């Protein structure tokens, strides 16, 4: 009984501790961010739909009001808004001059047109919550949204100072030790605050990794915080697109290249090299045999040399035809390799990212076989028992049999790949013709985005380095000749 009472007393928190925890919870971004998202997204969506309504006919608007895909369109427009695009201009480009005849979903059609104009929009990094807050017509909602955003920005600063004091493992791993120099410490704290803010907003608690993969695209506001944290960590900008991709997008990139490998011609570099050597060897043996025949005194020896010359000449012709076929296969393989280069690079980066995210997972290899020799050939292209490239073991009469590629199957694969490449080129030309208007609209939208970024840009002088400050301190001494 006494132990139970003492246990309850120790478990109970004091009023001060309870108040402190409640204040901490109220100030946390896990509490403030959903409030800010609800207010800003609701009013942003209302602004988008007012723009859509002004551009649609009355009948189209009635259909749009009943459309189940409106939420999907609103999310991509919000992502474009956070990326710096002029959403009103995007909608005018997407709707103007084209109707929706035959469309089962106006919102879905608009979503596709917007995606062709802006691609997969990613939020701009480095902006504060106040900068991400859109203009709101309702004064009360405007005050609420901006008040919450200001509180969130204050929280970011507070979290940066806390990280500098606590020095968690992830911060030391990605940001290094807290600098002693006040200017550098301020920059370190600012960057740490952006990362800690994202972690708190999302509830990310990994001790080693700073931010992990990006949130789902259905939450563009959280993705904006992730991008700000990524930039604050000064991670490679070239890797950001892969790090921001979802698991499904990464698997899709792997799958795209796996489909490419299904129609790839075989890798025949090793076989082609051996065929060149064998053809040259046979021709050289034939020439030497002809010379021996010309120089022979004995008729039997002369006949033997002539027979050997004819055999080597016939073998040289046979291997030459084989080499020509291999050349056709190798050229088709080169064209396939060039045509699938983008898919291959994207798949390699996706594979690396998936293995980084799931180090314990047993992922299948991206390349099913090594392209360094015969081991890299698909088994269906190799068979034993055919006439081989032959190797001289003494007199030139005894040759050792080695496996040779099934050239008919290899040629069939090469020609099938050529047909696929031609069909893909025609489809690309056709798509380019159809998308020319979309390309122009997309370029116009990007120009509008860049213009808006220039108008809102704020020039900031970089913080002086330690060497610059040292030179500034030493200037009086240098001028005095000391």
pLDDT at 150: 93
- For tokens 């990524």, name the residue: 230
Helices (H) and strands (E) in the chain, counts: 20, 2
pLDDT at 23: 73
pLDDT at 333: 94
CB-side exposure of 160: number of CA atoms within 13 Å? 21
Give the C-alpha separation, 216 to 374, whole Å.
43
Condensed to tens digits (0 to 9), the pLDDT of residues 199-217 reads 999 999 989 999 988 888 8
The two three-digit tokens of residue 148, written as one number: 């919450």
Domain ranges, ordered by start, for the chain? 265-339+369-434
pLDDT at 121: 82
The two three-digit tokens of residue 474, written as one number: 């030493």
pLDDT at 391: 41
Residues 100/60, Cβ–Cβ less than 8 Å: yes
- Write out residues in the chain with pLDDT < 70, as ranges: 1-13, 15, 18-19, 97, 126, 367-405, 430-482
Residues 403/383, Cβ–Cβ less than 8 Å: yes
Condensed to tens digits (0 to 9), the pLDDT of residues 237-266 reads 878 888 888 888 899 999 999 999 999 999
pLDDT at 84: 86
pLDDT at 473: 40
pLDDT at 450: 53
pLDDT at 446: 53
CB-side exposure of 461: number of CA atoms within 13 Å? 4
Give the C-alpha separation, 370 to 414, whole Å.
19
pLDDT at 285: 93
Neighbouring CB atoms inside 10 A of 376's CB total 16
DSSP state of 128: -
pLDDT at 197: 93
pLDDT at 120: 82
pLDDT at 200: 93
The sign one gets for the Cα dihedral 366, 369, 372, 377 is negative
Residues 160/192, Cβ–Cβ less than 8 Å: yes
pLDDT at 296: 83
pLDDT at 152: 93
Query: Quick one: how far is CA 131 from the chain centroid?
Result: 27
């Amino acid at each position: 009984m006494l132990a139970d009472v003492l246990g309850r007393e120790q478990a109970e928190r004091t009023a001060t501790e309870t108040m402190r925890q409640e204040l901490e919870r109220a100030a946390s971004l896990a509490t403030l961010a959903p409030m800010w998202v609800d207010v800003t997204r609701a009013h942003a969506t209302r602004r988008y739909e007012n723009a859509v309504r002004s551009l649609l006919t009355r009948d189209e608007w009635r259909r749009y009001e009943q459309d189940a895909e409106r939420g999907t369109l609103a999310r991509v427009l919000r992502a474009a808004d956070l990326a710096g695009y002029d959403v009103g201009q995007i909608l005018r480009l997407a709707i103007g001059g084209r109707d929706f005849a035959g469309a089962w979903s106006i919102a879905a059609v608009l979503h596709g047109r917007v995606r062709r104009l802006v691609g997969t929009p990613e939020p701009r990094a480095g902006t504060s919550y106040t900068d991400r807050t859109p203009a709101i017509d309702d004064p009360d909602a405007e005050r609420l949204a901006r008040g919450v955003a200001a509180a969130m920005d204050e929280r970011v600063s507070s979290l940066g100072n806390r990280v500098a004091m606590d020095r968690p493992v992830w911060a030391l791993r990605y940001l290094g030790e807290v600098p002693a120099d006040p200017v550098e410490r301020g920059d370190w704290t600012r960057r740490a605050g952006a990362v800690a803010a994202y972690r708190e907003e999302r509830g990310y608690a990994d001790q080693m990794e700073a931010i992990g993969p990006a949130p789902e695209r259905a939450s563009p506001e959280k993705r904006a915080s992730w991008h700000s944290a990524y930039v604050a960590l000064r991670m490679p900008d070239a890797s950001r697109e892969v790090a921001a991709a979802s698991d499904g997008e990464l698997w899709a990139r792997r799958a795209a290249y796996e489909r490419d490998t299904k129609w790839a011609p075989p890798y025949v570099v090793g076989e082609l090299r051996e065929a060149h050597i064998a053809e040259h060897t046979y021709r050289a043996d034939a020439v030497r045999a002809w010379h021996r025949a010309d120089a022979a005194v004995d008729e039997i020896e002369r006949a033997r040399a002539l027979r050997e010359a004819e055999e080597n000449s016939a073998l040289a012709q046979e291997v030459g035809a084989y080499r020509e076929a291999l050349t056709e296969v190798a050229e088709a393989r080169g064209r396939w390799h060039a045509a699938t280069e983008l898919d291959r690079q994207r798949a390699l980066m996706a594979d690396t990212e998936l293995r980084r995210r799931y180090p314990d997972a047993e992922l299948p290899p991206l390349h099913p076989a090594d392209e360094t020799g015969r081991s890299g050939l698909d088994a269906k292209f190799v068979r034993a028992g055919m006439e081989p490239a032959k190797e001289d073991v003494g007199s030139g009469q005894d040759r050792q049999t080695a496996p040779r590629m099934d050239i008919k199957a290899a040629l069939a694969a090469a020609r099938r790949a050529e047909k696929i490449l031609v069909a893909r080129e025609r489809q690309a030309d056709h798509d380019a013709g159809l998308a020319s208007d979309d390309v122009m609209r997309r370029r116009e939208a990007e120009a509008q985005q860049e213009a808006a970024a220039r108008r809102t840009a704020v020039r900031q002088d970089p913080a002086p380095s330690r060497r610059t400050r040292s030179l500034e301190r030493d200037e009086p001494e240098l001028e005095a000749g000391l």
